[in-house]
Structure 1
Amino acid sequence: MHEETTDWYYDNPVIPGFHPDPSVCRVGEDYYLVCSSFEYFPGVPLFHSRDLVHWRQIGNVLDRPAQLPLPPDASASDGIYAPTIRHHDGRFWLITTNVSEGGNFIVSAERPEGPWSDPVWIDLPGIDPDLAWDEDGDCWCAFQGVGVARIDPEAGKVLEGPIAAWSGTGLQWPEAPHLYRIGEWWYLMIAEGGTERGHTVAMARARTPRGPWEPAPSNPVLTHRGTAHPVQSTGHADLVIGPDGEYWMVLLATRPRGYSPGFHVLGRETFLTPVAWEDGWPVVGPVNLRERGPGSPRPVERAARRDDFDAPALDPRWISPRSRPDDSWSLVERPGWLALHATGSTLDRPGCTLLGRRQEHQESRTAALLDPGSGRAGLSIRVDEGHHYDLEVADGQVDVIARIGPLRHRVATRPVPPGPVTLVITTGPAGERPPVDGQPTGLHVAAPDLIAFHVGEDLLAELDGRYLSTEVATGFTGRVIGLYATEGTAWADWFEHGPLDAP
């Protein structure tokens, strides 16, 4: 049980922004966590922590094109689904699914920072594969459905099975299975009910990975479905022993805002919650925005994080849709600047040059100093090719452009002098709708937020944030804010992203 062992609290989510399907492993005093990355390259962000609360991204597992083959026209929300990370016999192992190319595969590494191996493909159905080793050293893989198989992870061979396991309580999409040996039991934890508001975590146990499986009498062990809790869609969880010696759960959840049905704009995020055990079963939740923490307290960083492009390599937080050709960007052509070479003429189709960062704060400020040269470039806040707002500079003017489904509209325009220009995008609380023709509307905004576009301190336009939400755009990702070029070459001197109220 989690008693009053510590007197500090942490804020959820512990990894904010589009970081879904978390999986975690412990190696000594260190914790390593990975998340789904879908159609973005590099894939599978990798985080390190000593207390399960303060996480730092140390790399991406799939950081070479050979590890992450994606078709140039791979659909948004395809790509890499639900990795599992484990440490066994002195080596790190990761299994995941490329739904766009090849299916399930395994990579491994001696060190979490890599290099990680090329994929070892394995002929197993479904998505969301898991790895667990028994006392004899045999490796077991569970997968969506739910089934289990005994495998050789080095050769990618199925040695036994697949064997039908426990498929949950009858809700849709039994998925995200994880196997654990705890005491005398093997536990099988799954998600079901779909990854939307009906999401749940359910448990079963057996004496061996082959079953038979006994469901928990109080399933689901965690859900927020049908509640007014500010945290929703709780599910797709993993268990780990924390620095306090107790079990903790990492899981995905969302923070919807705005009028019914509510809109979550950052995607599914990584939350942390304590786990108690009663009569041999876990007791979890509800998952709160503020929880009592494990380990020792440390202040949480609230300042904006800035990149001056002075390092010899890109920060691992930078991602690009589908690929990032070497000739599409450079840190050395103009020292201290990020060069962007256009590879496509529009953000409305795959193939453009865009380097972005996940939006991490519901109320945020993102700014960049951009030199468009003689080309066309800007700052975009996006969910996919059909849902993005752009602050674009070309031909001596800056435009605010909205792409919402089949509609593309220039919302505002303003002349700017030649040379570098400071572009700013903020996301803030929704209040009244912006004025129309200079006149207040008096209408309430039902959106989750308002997205504002500035050149320096000058406001050009405000747009409704609901159109850049999962509930409108659909899919499994969240907002990404990025620098792009669609004509010629542009350069960025710096980029920063942080809370709207950051000092």
Structure 2
Amino acid sequence: MKKIIILLISMFGFCHFLNAQGYKNPVISGFHPDPSVCRVGDDYYLVTSSFEYFPGVPVFHSKDLINWTKIGHCLTRASQLKLDKCAPSAGIYAPTIRYHEGRFYMVTTNVSGGGNFYVHTDNPAGEWSEPVFVDQGGIDPSLYFEGDKSYFVSNQNGITICEIDIKTGKKLTKGQTVWNGTGGRYPEAPHIYKKDGWYYLLISEGGTEYGHKITISRSRNIYGPYESNPANPILTHINEIAQSNPIQGTGHGDFIQAHDGSWWIVFLGFRPQSLLHHVLGRETFLAPVRWDADAWPVINGNGTVNIDMNTPTLPLQTVKPHDFSTGFDETKLGVDWNYLRNPFMRQYSLAEKKGSLRLKATSVSLDDNDSPTFVGRRQEHIDFSAAAVMSLNNAKAEDEAGMTIFYSSQAHYDLSLKKTEKGKNRLVLRYKIGVLNHIASELEIPADKIYLKVEGNKDFYSFYYSLDGKEFKFLDKINVWYLSSETNGGFTGVYVGLYASSQNKDTKAFADFDSFTYKPGKME
């Protein structure tokens, strides 16, 4: 009996330890903004914005709200997501995910065409339906279900609500403006929750910059009038107590009640790194919410959050370690990879050379707001190293392929192998910064196969090459801030990409990439 008691005490202590470990923010790093979350039993599903990248709206799964695994995308077909020649930071804005009567719904806005729409599925890791459009303007739409009624919420001339037919998207009532926020600019990101007989309306204000904040109001009737929380904003880092916090721009949140009854909020923020510039984009953060009966919610005690969160959590679940690298042995690219706008799939092949990704050059370049031959994955860490092994084949003068550190068509750093008019191979490191095109390094390479590498830290990207994969030679380094949102505007983050392009419209050139590695952490 004594042994049993000791065992039970030990088990209780272990469970308590699991529930009090704390965690680190962000819970999803890199360019993953505008998070929205829903729960089914003890499973959690989260989506984020994707803008001009395809496929659109990544979907994540978790058992503990802290450890997330990307399981797919909501928008995987051109019929769902038209991005033809869309501008940088256009395309898909601010999705919301909800679960109702056995079905998942993801509602969002394509600002480049079509407006507000939703898709649905029974399996969030699988294929989603064709779009159902809703004729109500604004952005950042949300769905709220109550009984047999479905409500559509957006930020058209203030926060606007209407009832819709969830099967067709048809409006059943006229849109009614219910709240304009507390006076901050750009009231947006509305979500409605019902608790203790109150309808709570959560929004963001101040713009998705340093002045971002989350505010909340409530009403006994879904159509208002809504009473503003006297303690607004309930989350912001614009105040003096957070002026030196490594997380800034906090806002655009979504509440979730966990299966143990606790409340949490997911929200976006960014981490400035070099002279207060951020290049990773806006990331997904998590904070606990104290929400007493008939009371206003309080986020993390004082409306601010930290990198190291010393707070009780759900029991932490182990997840399979993420493999950031690939030998391109798969039959299709994994969920980490994206294309720019709607891809022309004939330009890509994993079958023509086993164990390689073949990229076929076209005359569309990385400088164009179009669909170049490009695949990339998000830079998810301030300190990282990425490398690729490639060969350039069937090439003529002005054909090129290589790696790119890509923010937008107006801001990217490219390390490429390029053919000259004499048929020689030339390694070129180019910086594209607005109207400035600068060749930082150029040298002749006596081989068609080359190893390319880039290392990033809080201040610089450094570029290297090797002919044997063992000895890497340094080429040049450049400041990260030229690829930041502060320098270029926009809402995305940096990608590490592979590409092939040409100045010849009839090019037959292609590049074979034999491997790609991405390693987080500081380099020695």
Q: TM-score, normalised by structure 2?
A: 0.88
Aligned partner (choices 300, 305, 321) of residue 287 of structure 1: 305
Q: In 1, distance between residues paired with 2:454 and 2:339?
A: 19
Matched with 2:353 is 334
Which amino acid letter does the alignment assign opposite residue 493 of structure 2? G
1:87-106 alignment, distance < 5 Å: 87-106=99-118
**C-alpha distance in 1, partners of 2:315/2:416?**
45
Say whether 1:382 aligns with 2:400.
no
Determine the structure 1 residue equivalent to 2:218. 205
> Which residue, out of 31, 34, 50, partners 2:44?
31
Moved more, 243-252 or 265-274: 243-252
Shift of 1:115: 1.4
- SS of residue paired to 2:45: strand
Distance 2:363 2:488 in 1: 22
1:414 positional shift: 2.8
| Deviation per residue, 1:347-406 (Å, 9 max, x gap) | 111331110001000111111111122341000001111100001112312111000000
Q: Which residue of 2 aligns with 1:443?
A: none
Q: Which residue of 1 aligns with 2:455?
A: 426
What's the counterpart of residue 434 of structure 1?
none
Corresponding position: 1:221 with 2:245: no
CA distance in 2, matches of 1:300, 1:263: 32
Instruction: Kindly indicate whether residue 363 of structure 2 is the aligned counterpart of residue 344 of structure 1.
Output: yes
Deviation at 1:482, TM superposition (A): 0.3
Q: CA separation in 1, counterparts of 2:87 and 2:202?
A: 30
> Is the Cα contact below 8 Å between 1:129 and 1:141 reproduced in 2?
yes
Q: Secondary structure at the match of 2:175?
A: strand
CA RMSD of aligned residues (A): 1.8
In structure 1, stretches of 5+ residues that fail to align are 430-448
Contact 2:18 2:316 in 1 (8 A): no
Instruction: Sort the Cα spacing of 1:24 and 1:175 in 2 relative to 1 into closer, same or farther, 3 A.
Output: same
Tell me if structure 1 keeps the 8 A contact 2:357–2:514: yes
1:388, 1:477 → 2: CA distance? Answer: 13
1:22 aligns with 35
How far is the alpha carbon of 1:56 from its aligned partner?
0.9
Equivalence for 1:490: 511
Q: Separation in 2 of the partners of 1:327 and 1:68?
A: 19
The structure that has the greater radius of gyration is: 2
Structure 2 residues without counterparts, runs of 5 or longer: 1-15, 420-424, 467-471, 503-508
Residue number among 153, 176, 181 corresponding to 1:168 in the alignment = 181
CA distance in 2 between counterparts of 1:76 and 1:287 reads: 30
Q: Distance in 1 between matches of 2:339 and 2:371?
A: 10
1:416 aligns with 2:427: no
In structure 2, the CA distance between the partners of 1:312 and 1:9, relative to structure 1 (3 Å rule), is same
Deviation at 1:257, TM superposition (A): 2.0
Q: Is the 8 A contact 1:302 1:502 kept in 2?
A: no
Contact 2:379–2:494 (CA under 8 A) maintained in structure 1: yes
CA contact (8 A) 1:360 1:498 kept: no
Contact 1:427–1:500, Cα closer than 8 Å, also in 2: no
Aligned equivalents of 1:280, 1:344: Cα separation in 2: 60
Instruction: Output the amino acid matched with 1:253.
Output: G
Letter in structure 2 aligned against 1:454 = Y
What residue in structure 1 maps to residue 253 of structure 2?
237
Give the Å deviation of 1:293: 5.1
1:140 equivalent to 2:161? Answer no
Aligned counterpart for 1:64 among listed residues 73, 77, 80: 77
User: Given the superposition, is the C-alpha separation of residues 4 and 337 from structure 1 closer, same or farther in structure 2, using an over 3 Å criterion?
Assistant: closer
Shift of 1:110: 1.1
Aligned residue pairs total 478
Counterpart Cα distance in 2 of 1:4 and 1:56: 23
Taking the TM superposition and a 5 Å limit, the aligned residue runs for 1:401-480 are: 401-429=430-458, 449-456=459-466, 457-480=472-495
Pair 1:316 & 2:311 matched: no
In the alignment, is residue 400 of structure 1 matched against residue 412 of structure 2?
no
1: distance between equivalents of 2:488 and 2:319? 32
Contact 1:303 1:498 in 2 (8 A): no
1:353 equivalent in structure 2: 373
Cα offset, 1:290, TM superposition? 1.2
Instruction: Give distance in 2, aligned partners of 1:283 and 1:416.
Output: 60
SS of residue matched to 2:498 = strand
Task: List structure 1 segments (4+ residues) > 6 angstroms apart after TM superposition.
Answer: 299-304
CA–CA separation in structure 1 for the residues paired with 2:381 and 2:312: 21
CA shift for structure 1 position 91? 0.5
Deviation at residue 344 of structure 1 after TM alignment: 2.8
Farther off after superposition, 239-248 or 196-205: 239-248
Alignment partners' CA distance in 1, 2:100 and 2:474: 54
* Paired position in structure 1 for 2:273: 257
Q: Is the 8 A contact 1:307 1:494 kept in 2?
A: yes
330-339 vs 370-379, greater mean Cα deviation: 370-379
Question: Does 2:91 match 1:82?
Answer: no
Secondary structure of 1:159's aligned partner: coil
Call closer, same or farther: CA 1:56–1:422 in 2, change over 3 Å. same
8 Å Cα contact 2:457/2:522 also seen in 1: no
CA distance in 2, matches of 1:352, 1:385: 10
Structure 2 partner of 1:9: 22
1:113 to 1:297, Cα distance in 2 relative to 1, 3 A: closer
- Cα 1:5–1:203, aligned 2, differ >3 Å: closer, same or farther? farther
Residue aligned with 1:367, SS: strand
Amino acid at match of 1:393: L
Greater shift, 271-280 or 403-412, is seen at 271-280
Distance 1:249 1:398 in 2: 48
Q: 1:4 Cα shift?
A: 9.2
**Residue type of the alignment partner of 2:214:** V
Matched-pair contact (CA < 8 Å) for 2:20–2:313? no
Q: Distance in 1 between matches of 2:333 and 2:366?
A: 22
* CA distance, structure 1, for counterparts of residue 510 and residue 418 of structure 2: 11
Does residue 116 (structure 1) correspond to residue 128 (structure 2)? The answer is yes
Equivalent position amino acid for 2:338 in 1: I
- 1:348 counterpart SS class: coil
Secondary structure of 2:140's counterpart equals: coil
The answer to whether the 8 Å contact 1:106/1:153 transfers is: no
Cα shift readout 1:292-339 (whole Å, capped 9, x = no counterpart): 352223578887611111112210111111111111101111111111
Moved more, 343-352 or 356-365: 343-352
| Contact kept? 2:93, 2:139, Cα under 8 Å | yes
Deviation at 1:415, TM superposition (A): 2.7
SS at match of 2:482: helix
- Please give the alpha-carbon distance, in whole angstroms, between the structure 1 residues aligned to 2:180 and 2:203: 8
One-letter code of the match for 2:474?
L
**1-structure distance, mates of 2:371, 2:345:** 13
CA contact (8 A) 2:37 2:45 kept: yes
